Structures are given as C-alpha cells and as structure tokens.
A and B are shown apart, each in its own frame.
Chain A
Amino acid sequence: MASTHPIVPLLFIATLGWNATAIAATAEHSAPAAKLQPVADQNSGSLSGGTADHTKFEALKGPFQTGADVTKACLTCHNKAGEQVMKSVHWTWDYRNPRTGQLLGKKNVINNFCTNARGNEGMCAQCHAGYGWTDATFDFTDQARIDCLVCHDRTATYYRLPNSRGSAICGVLFENLAPIDFAHVAQNVGLPGRENCGTCHFNGGGGDGVKHGDLDSSLTRPSKALDVHMAVAGPNFACTQCHVSRHHQIAGSRYDMVAHDETGLGKPGARRDVATCESCHGTTPHPKLSLIGWQLNHHAERVACQTCHIPRIARGGVATVTDWDWSTAGRLIDGKGYAEEKYVQADGTPRHTYWSIKGNFKWDENFVPTYQWFDGRMVYTTADTKIDAKQSPVPINVVKGDPGDPNSRIWPFKQVRTKVPWDPVNKTLVFNHLWGDDDTAFWGNFDLVKSVSAGMKLENRPFSGTLGFLDTVSNWPITHMVAPKGDAVGCGECHKPKGRLAAITGVYLPGRDGFGWLDTLGIIALSLTLAGIAAHAAIRLALRFKIIWRPEWRPK
C-alpha cells in the first residue's frame, strides 16, 4: 500500500549538537520537524473561499520585527479572535474533562513518550499557539502572545524555534535558517491546511508519526489508498473539514471523544461540535436495501466506523513507535551522546532505534490495531495517581467502555509500551526536567536522578530520590487514514476464531464463538448415526448376498 507523497525536504536538522556525524539528519523531535510544503486547493468546508485579499490591507504592510507584531496587526481587524483563541486548548493546554472530572491537557498530563511538557516548555511549547512560554510565569492573558501564523501561514516560510535555550550540547540547533519575511507571511494567510496542523500534530511524541500511528507527514499529500478524505487526487480535505470549529473552538479533541454519535447529520450546517464520521455520513451509511448493508448499519451501533474502515495503522510509509525504553537512556560514547538508526521505514527514511537522550525505540507500520470497547472516556494515570505496580503494564490511560452500554462501541487503538521513570517509593509517575541550559536538564547532563529531582522540585512534588522504571501502556484511538471502501476490513477477519476481535468480550460473535460441548455432542451424534448406518448397511448387504446366512432366517 505505497502512498505517493513526496518526501518533504527537511529544513530543520534536528540533531543535537554533539557528535553530529554520529547522528544522521532525521526529523526526530526537537523542532517542528520537516517544513511541510503547502498543498493547494484544500477543501476546508463551508468557510472555503474568502472575501478579503490580505495583501491589500494597510495594517499588514509591515515592517514587522516579530510574530507578535503580526498578531497585533491581525487583531486590529479580527478583534474577537484573541478572546476566542484564548479559550481553546491550543492556547490553554489545560482541559477539565466534564465526564471524568480529570484535569488534563498538555500542561498537566504525563504520558509515556517524552512524559511531560510541564517543566520543559522552552522546548515543548514550540507547539503551543503562543510566543515565549518558558515557565510558569507565562502570561496567558496577553493577546499579543498568540501565534496566529503557525496555523494560518500559507507560504510555508514561517517557522517556530524553541522558546528557551537548551543545554550547550543543543547549540547548533536551528542554525542557518532563512529569516522570516513577516510581511510576506502576514499578507498570505489563509485557512489552515494539513501542513499547518501537521507541523505539530504529525510530530506528536517527538517526531514524524511517533505518537499516533494515524497522523504523520504522509497525510500532507496522501494517496486515495491512504486516506480517502484527504487524498490530493480526491476530496483533498483540510483537517478543518471534519474538525469543524466555532469561535476557534475546534471539535474532535481526543480528551473528550464521542464514541457513538447517534445524532448523525443533524440539521444542515448545524453540527459544529463534533468531528464524527456520522456528522457527515449519517448513522446508517450502508445501503439500506441490501442484506449486508442492513447488517452493517446495525453493526455501526456496536462497532465504530474506524474499526472496519481503517484496516491498518501507519500505512503511509511513515512508521510509528510501539515500544520505548527510557531505562537505557543516557549511554554515552567518549562522554558524548549518540544515536543508532536500525529501522528503515517504508518511505526509505531511517529511524532512531537508540538515542542517548531518550533510550530505545521499536517501530512498526502497516499493522493491525488493538480493539477495545470505548464509550469516549479515558481515565488517565496522572501525577496524582497512586500506582498499583502489581498491574503490569500500568495503563497510562484506561479506555472506558462496556459491552452492555449502548454508548460504547468497539474502537481501534494503537498501543505503546514504554518503560518510564517513576518513583517506586512514593508510587507515582514523575516529572522529568529534560530541557534547559541549567545543569539539571537530562538533555545535557544525562543524569536521570538529577533531572527527575529537578522536575519534581519544580512542581513541588515529593520525590523519594529512588528512581525506577515502570512498564506502562498507552492507548491512542485510531481515526485517520480511512481507506477506500474496497479495502475495509472483511467480515471474516473478525468472524472467525482468533480473529481481530479475539480479545473482545461481552458479545456473541458468530463464527468466533460457539458452545464447545454442543459441537462435540453434535459430532458424536453424527458419528454414531453414520456408524449405525454403516453397520446396518453392512449386515444388510452381507445377508442380502448370503455372505452370512441361515435358512431359518428366511422370512415366513
């Protein structure tokens, strides 16, 4: 299933500054990796078109020194945009899940990739839609700090740098970049394209495709086989075609998912709140007058669309991380960090299998998801959770769902196993201080005990001083890379013993399930019948042809 996207030339060479020859130039973490080239004529839905030519506006003539200067100019016309953006998670990185009550958002969570953005904002907040967030003192009320351009630049010449200096070993990062012509960028803004969203969302977890498995740079110019919706030769959807918005509040956040959308289409144009398949395709999208179509429409009550229509994860030539071991991080050669690239993904790019700053990775692509009942709720293991280490692996996020609950459906997930640093005495996950030009940052001193102590101190949380490594698993719902209908998962891939849904409980699945003893009984009864018939026939024939015979048997 080769996708035809060209490899985007890498503008940023995201290698850390030590021993550069030992590390090939890949787009691993550290920068908004590859600068994705703009794709023309993307379909952004009802907003497409536009009525203003930004090159004509006096306010955008410049000159601008900084991105913030551009923002101030934007706000002179779009005078409600600031307020709106400030309410979105792109700005707050803070989210209270209304159903679980948990405090989530990048500001708060610990995951099993680079574990925590908190305390590392200088690096991680490159993907914050604002300028200059380096620590807890960031002013979340200053509208001039909003970065409009990262989402709305249509020239592909705009880029972001880390908000603070990292360790000295990161010195050569981001060298030789062409200065940004802010006036040119400001005059060429538009609705976000896949490249805009992709700058951050394709690189979750620290590099192209690392985190999600269904979001990577192959979606910049996808083929139809990879993604029917975003295909350049097809509908060429921008992300916002499905992730609809109102007042800069963008639908379809993973923090609060709609696992079973029973509203479907709604009134024309009314649904600006969800990014579900049903909000365009309705709740009964298969042909109603065919037997299979009828069955499939009812399957949709218990099975998410994604389960059949996304047959495999990471099909675009870009691999995704399935296993990460932090316990090996910090190995040095001649006192310097190094990297190994022993995995070559389908598009030919080598990927890190070891990196001193992160440990060991395993990759996979074009593989079958894990399936679980899901009602849209995920309960996260947070910094406050007392961890029960007997449970192994410890779930970083527990997928909630129940076969008896009509709101739950069977969903596909990518699972990632990671050994993460933790505090085995206090039984908690830990904040790790990775980025900084101080001597406690792991990406510089390669001393985990020191960097975790610093990270925990920054958060005013207790750390026992003992560092362990905890086996964890995280679940990432799969929803992108919808295949053409002909490539949907066939019935028989689940309706068979040991099929894709072998682990799904709580339902009788024809073809997978049965009543073992009834089948045994059936086979015994059948065998006895056949044996009886064979015996009867044998005796009949033997007597008929007088092979055995006594005259007194002759019937009267």
Chain B
Amino acid sequence: MEAEMSQASAVPPPGIPQPRRSVMIYTRYERFWHWSQAALIFILAVSGFAVHGSFTLMDFRTAVLIHSSAAVALIVLWIFTTFWHFTTTAWRHYLPDVRGLPAVIRFYVWGILVGAPHPYSKTLKRKQNALQSLAYLSFMVIIGPALWASGIIYLAYPLWGQWATGILGLPTVVFVHTAAADLMMIFVIIHIYMTTTGKTFTHYVKTMITGYDTIELTPAEAAYLEEEEVSRLAKS
C-alpha cells in the first residue's frame, strides 16, 4: 500500500484528463459555516440598514437588538471558522494563484457568454479558481475584518464614548462600518450572481448544499480517498 501511494502520488502530466468522480468537496463544517454566515449577513444587512435609517422595515430598538445579537453570533462563527481553517489547513484554498487570473477573467468576460468550458477545474487541493480566491480573500481579510472591527468598536461605544470627541469618535467608526457594509452588499450580490454560472444555473448552489461535486481525481487522490476518507466519495 505504501508503494501504491508513493507511486500514485506522482503528479500526472498536465492536460491528460483524469477520471471524474463525485466527491464531497465541501465538508459538513464548511457548508454549515457558509450557510449560517450567509443567513447572518443577510440579517445583519437588513437590520443594519434599518438602524441606518435606510428604510423603515422594523423599529430602531428591534433593529438594534437583532443587529447586535446577529453580530455577536457572526463573530463567534468567525472565530470558530478561523480556527477551523488553520487546524485543517483549508486556508490554503484562499491563496491566490495569480497565474490563472487572466484566463479566468477572459472566461467571465467572454467565454462564459458563448459557452466555453471554465478554464479552471476544481481539484481536491484547490476548490477555488484564481478570481474566486482573490475575491474571497479580499472578503475575508478586508471587508469582513473592516466590518467586524468597526462593528465591535461601535458596539463598545458606551465604554469609550466619553473620551471621544468630534470626528474622532463615532462618526469615523460609523463611516468605516457603513462603507464596508456597502462593499459587503456588492460582494454578496456579485457572489450570488456568480453561483448561476455553473454547468446549470443551480449547479453551484446544489454543490454547496450537498457538498458533492464531480471533479477530476488523480489516481493518487482517488486511491487516498478510497483508503482514508471513503465517506467523501459518493457511492456510484
């Protein structure tokens, strides 16, 4: 078996299609945090813009209660998820591989319109294409932190408010928070649109719900999964 593994792990020459199999690429935890984060961000966006006075869907007190509670829930989720990313080394998926970027951009600008295949195919090691990882990375290191950092400072206003004066106080915090919330909305909207660009309109969404996608597996990966994580392979 040792010999098999070492032999199989030899990287197959590029361009040679590998057998495709239905594999669980999003683990249960990933799906859980993806969807609960989606729900929380939706709740936060609605209640946050209600606090902001953008619309009068709910009264201010309710909006504050919902927003603050959802914010705390989201922070807890993020702490767990960050921990999870580092313990499972899943964080590597976010490392942007800029070499693939031009091809992906070309695809979204033109190829996708005429039905070209995606220049990138998911592998077990890399679930995200170059543009995706760049987008998610900016989400996770810029928009997300800007929101939660300013949000926590905002939430703690009663604790520091008495020392803050003028522009250095709440206005700056609210500015960052609101601007990041705007960016978040744009990210989410584009993100949702992108989910319709799979093989079928709902392919990506289904994948994120079931966790399974059909991807090319190198013989080594296939063997590894058969041996160590057989539950991730769909019974075919």
Contact = CB atoms under 8 A, between A and B. Distances in A.
Contacts of B117: 555
Interface in A499-544: 507-508, 510-515, 518-519, 521-522, 525-526, 529-530, 533, 536-537, 539-540, 543-544
Interface in A197-245: none
A510 B61 contact: no
Given A298-B161, A543-B114, A510 B171 contact: no
Interface stretch (B135-143, B177-185, B211-219): B177-185
A518 B179 contact: yes
A497 B53 contact: yes
B114 A491 contact: no
A537 B192 CA distance: 12
Majority-rule SS of A interface residues:
helix
A224 to B, nearest CB: 23
A510 B154 CA distance: 11
A553 B162 contact: no
A90 interface: no
Contacts of B186: 525-526, 529
Interface residues of A, number: 42
A404 B112 CA distance: 58
Contacts of A490: 59-61
A224 B51 CA distance: 33
A404 B166 CA distance: 8
Contacts of B165: 404
A125 B87 CA distance: 84
Contacts of A331: none
B52 interface: yes
Interface in B149-177: 157-158, 161-162, 165-166, 169-171, 174-175
B94 to A, nearest CB: 23
A287 interface: no
A227 B196 CA distance: 61
B65 interface: yes
B68 interface: yes
Interface string B75-86: 000000000000
A526 B53 contact: no
Interface of B: 51-54, 59-61, 64-65, 68-69, 111-117, 157-158, 161-162, 165-166, 169-171, 174-175, 178-179, 182, 185-186, 189-190, 193, 196
27 contacts: A297-B158, A490-B61, A495-B51, A496-B53, A497-B53, A508-B169, A510-B52, A510-B174, A511-B53, A513-B171, A514-B53, A515-B171, A515-B174, A518-B175, A519-B54, A522-B178, A522-B185, A525-B182, A525-B186, A530-B189, A536-B193, A537-B193, A540-B112, A543-B115, A544-B113, A554-B115, A555-B114
